[in-house]
Structure 1
Amino acid sequence: MFKPLIATALLLTSGWAIAAEPPLTAALYAQQLGVGIDVDWARTERGIREFDPLVVRDFRAKGLTHVRIRVADEPTEARLIHLRKLVEACEQYGVIPIISYQADEYKNDPKADNEKEVINWWIAVAHYFGQSSPLLGFDLIYEPADKLNHNQASLNRVYEKTIKVIHSIDANRMIFIAPRLRAAPEDLSSMKLPAHSQNYLLAEWHIFPWGPLKNNGKYPWTSGTAAEKTAIQNRINIALHWQQKTGHVSWVGGWGVGESSRLTPTAPQLAFATFMACELQKAKIPYAINADFQFYDGEEGAWRPAPEPLLQTMITPECEKPAEKPGHHAVKPAAHDAGHGTPAAASTVKSAAPSASSVNPN
């Protein structure tokens, strides 16, 4: 006699718990992103071939809470099925997936209709995922390149049309857009944002995507001088000021210390990684590390031992505490904050699982 009442009570309790969950907004989404990593699981033949869902488990165990899945070429049925496999693996292990379209396969054809190609690509992907996988994000263009990179009006037009069509399919899909000039933070203000888009639209920008590169005989980072640190802080502050002005949030889609990070890291690399990670975390800007193959051996299914200290520094750096001032409190690293929020995010993802299976502008 009491069993139906107990069951009803449990259902009501569960219903109230679900109802109490705040609606997902871009600001909450950014908080859950934490620290992630760029992956080629859908872009290169090797990345596609070597992918194993247990890789996602390894990434989550390491403290990574999102992946930026770079993908190129046509949205064929086989590629869409593979993307579904990647998204489901992320949902299973509590990692947020972001599909990032590398819209550059037309680069050898100057007559190609870049705008139409980008829009049609996302129409296919948006229809395929529909309203499933609520934490799946769409990064519309990995880095605005070629014709779009030199025509801000064209880039804004692509974004406007693509956002409109995606949200006609799924009104709640989180979308990232990047400015021109390889997503430099200095060009965030050039983007035309849809009215009232703060709750679903995030900006993606880059800083040192492949580390400090030599430019005109000089490096933007040598030993971490005051001038070098200030230059980095100034670029991050540009993004922060843009956020304050527009009410939108942003995400660094990729940064690194250089190709040599497969090797045992040097003291300058570790110093640079520590400073970059600490500054982004103090600014509460989530970021992805570029890129997974430098730290993870997909063929072996194991982390590369040599760059392990560097990766750990980029995920959970040991940051200097602010100077002791009355009422001044140290900022917690974003990766730790994300760690607290991820289990809830993971449960949200699992409950909503689908039924079907650069150039450095420094």
Structure 2
Amino acid sequence: MLKPLIAAALIFSSGWVFAAEPPLTAARYAQQLGVGIDVDWARTERGIREFDPLEVRDFKAKGFTHVRIRVAGEPTEARLIHLRKLVEACDQYGVIPVIAYQADEYKNDPKADNEKEVVNWWIAVAHYFEKSSPLLGFDLIYEPADKLNHNIASLNRVYDKTIKAIHAIDADRMIFVAPRLRAAPEDLASLRLPAHSQNYVLAEWHIFPWGPLKNNGKYPWTSGTAAEKSAIRSRINTALRWQQKTGHVSWVGGWGVGESSRVTPTAPQMAFASFMACELQKAKIPYAINADFQFYDGEEGAWRAGPEPLLQAMLAPVCEKPDEKPGHHVIKSSARDAAHATPAAASTAKSAAPSGSSAGQG
């Protein structure tokens, strides 16, 4: 009589100890993404040549939880092997990798079948990473070629074909799709996503990928006036309304403050960085910072000292609370920045050959 009871107890105990994790959904995945950074470890010759897995360790130590790995070119064996090296390094150090395809190599070829090329690229990649970590994400088109960019029907069609092709190979893979042109939140409504895809398809959009650039003689950010802040909140709210309407979640694939972030940041840049980061975090929208080479010297294997306060403002901002006196957060932020001004040697020293990610366009 005891044997069946003991067996039952063991089964119950085993089931309790080894209870399966709840299935990964797009909403849970978005929560895990947190704050990431765009990297060129697979996009430029220099980035490919100089990549060192210890860079991933440094990014994790800094506080990043994902990297957006931009990649261009054919899915050759050498390129796929290199991508696997990156993904394995991310797995080793606990950073979520997102492969983002820059599908623009056919834009100057009038005979190119952009739709077919994109689908075939991802079929090759999906097969290669079929048994990889479930946290590996696929960002289908980082920079659409002109034909896809200016043809909403074609873009939606290639997304539909690619999603179906990937999930026929790897049913649980998380996939990101971006709207046309510069992936503005206002264009999210143009996406036509598969029915019942809320659990595995996320939207990717941009806001100030290279900072608040001058447009028609005006900047969208000067000193952070009430009108400037309201305009930015309006764009973020556009994405939130789309999420509520469709049930899909979203991710900002890249935003920055401008090229000058390589040096000591200005007060307006610091204010903009803190405001943007706080607003996105309040909206619970994960984001990636554009881009790694502005803050990390790959050749030296160390964080750049000049923009360190700016990086901290974008990565871990100190935000005002509703009941907090205006400006109080500035004091706390200054103290926090001072504490991070000199990166710890343990997170930047390299015992291997120098590594790096090349400067490039966002």
AA partner of residue 233 (structure 1): R
Tell me the amino acid that sits aligned with residue 317 of structure 2. Answer: P
For residue 149 of structure 1, report the CA deviation from its aligned partner: 0.8
Contact kept, 8 Å, 1:212 with 1:257, in 2: the verdict is yes
Q: Is the 8 A contact 1:103 1:141 kept in 2?
A: yes
CA distance in structure 2 between the partners assigned to 1:14 and 1:236 by the alignment: 46
- Report the Cα distance in structure 2 between the residues aligned to 1:312 and 1:263, rounded to whole angstroms: 14
Residue 116 of structure 1: aligned partner: 116
Instruction: Return the letter of the residue paired with 1:179.
Output: P
- What residue in structure 2 maps to residue 170 of structure 1? 170
Instruction: Report what 1:247 is aligned to.
Output: 247
TM-superposed CA distance for 1:283, in Å, is 0.1
SS in 2 for 1:74: coil
1:66 counterpart = 2:66: yes
**CA deviation digits over 1:15-52, x for unaligned, max 9?**
53442421100000000000000000000011111111
Give the C-alpha shift of residue 323 in structure 1: 3.5
Given that residues 206 and 255 in structure 2 are in contact (C-alpha distance below 8 angstroms), is that contact kept between their aligned partners in structure 1? yes
- Cα-to-partner distance string for 1:173-201 (whole Å, 9 max, x where unaligned): 00000000211100101100101101000
1:317 aligns with 2:317: yes
Residue 19 of structure 1 aligns to a residue in which SS? coil
Sort the Cα spacing of 1:140 and 1:252 in 2 relative to 1 into closer, same or farther, 3 A: same
Scaled by the length of structure 2, what TM-score is found? 0.85
Residue 12 of structure 1: how far off its partner (Å): 7.2
Comparing 280-289 with 122-131, which one deviates more in the overlay? 122-131
For residue 282 of structure 2, what is the aligned residue in structure 1?
282
CA distance in 2, matches of 1:322, 1:108: 51
Where does residue 40 of structure 2 map in the other structure? 40
Q: Is the 8 A contact 2:114 2:145 kept in 1?
A: no
Aligned 8 A contact 1:297 1:303 in 2: yes
- Aligned counterparts of 1:68 and 1:12: Cα–Cα separation in 2: 41
Q: Does 1:260 align with 2:241?
A: no
Aligned position for 1:187: 187
Identify if the C-alpha distance between structure 1 residues 145 and 226 changes in structure 2 by more than 3 Å, giving closer, same or farther: farther
- How far residue 273 of structure 1 moved from its aligned partner, in angstroms, is 0.2
Measured after TM superposition, the shift of residue 10 of structure 1 is 9.0
Equivalent residue of 1:36, what SS? strand
- The amino acid across from 2:244 in the alignment is Q
Does the Cα contact within 8 Å between 2:206 and 2:253 map onto a contact in 1?
Answer: yes
Runs (5+) with no aligned partner, structure 1: 1-5, 325-357
Counterpart of 2:291?
Answer: 291
The verdict on how the C-alpha distance between 1:161 and 1:309 changes in structure 2, with shifts beyond 3 A counting, is same
Following the alignment from structure 2 to structure 1, what is the Cα–Cα distance between the partners of residues 262 and 47? Answer: 17
What do the CA deviations read for 1:115-172 (whole angstroms, capped 9, x no partner)? 1110000000000011321100000000334111110000000000000000000110
Distance 1:177 1:270 in 2: 30
Distance in 2 separating the partners of 1:61 and 1:9 = 43
For the residues of structure 2 that align with 1:101 and 1:112, how far apart are their CA atoms?
17
Deviations 1:27-79 (A, max 9, x none): 00000000000000000011111111110010001000000000000000000
Q: Give, as a single letter, the amino acid of the residue that structure 2 aligns with 1:161.
A: K
- The residue number in structure 1 matching 2:230 is 230
| Cα distance in 1 for residues equivalent to 2:11 and 2:93 | 26
Matched-pair contact (CA < 8 Å) for 2:295–2:307:
yes
How far does the alpha carbon of each residue in 1:91-115 deviate from its partner, in whole angstroms, 9 at most, with x for none?
0000000000000111222331111
Alignment match, 2:143: 143
Aligned to 2:181, the other structure's residue is in SS state: helix
Following the alignment from structure 1 to structure 2, what is the Cα–Cα distance between the partners of residues 62 and 11? Answer: 43
- 2:106/2:145 contact within 8 Å kept: no
CA RMSD, aligned part only? 1.9
In structure 2, do the counterparts of structure 1 residues 61 and 13 end up closer, same or farther at CA, with 3 Å as the change threshold? farther
Check conservation: 1:143, 1:183, Cα contact below 8 A.
Answer: no
Separation in structure 2 between the aligned mates of residue 9 and residue 35 of structure 1, nearest angstrom? 43
State whether residues 236 and 280 of structure 1, in contact with CA within 8 Å, keep that contact through their aligned partners in structure 2: yes
Greater Rg over alpha carbons, structure: 2
Structure 2 Cα separation of the partners of residues 222 and 51 of structure 1: 37
Instruction: Determine helix, strand or coil for the equivalent of 2:182.
Output: helix
CA distance in 1 between counterparts of 2:319 and 2:162 reads 40
Contact 1:131 1:169 in 2 (8 A): no
Name segments (4+ residues, structure 1) moved above 2 Å.
Answer: 8-20
Classify 1:159/1:18 alpha carbon distance in 2 versus 1 (closer, same or farther; 3 Å). Answer: farther
Identity of aligned residues (%): 86
In the comparison of the two structures, how many residue pairs are matched?
Answer: 321
C-alpha displacement of 1:11 = 9.3
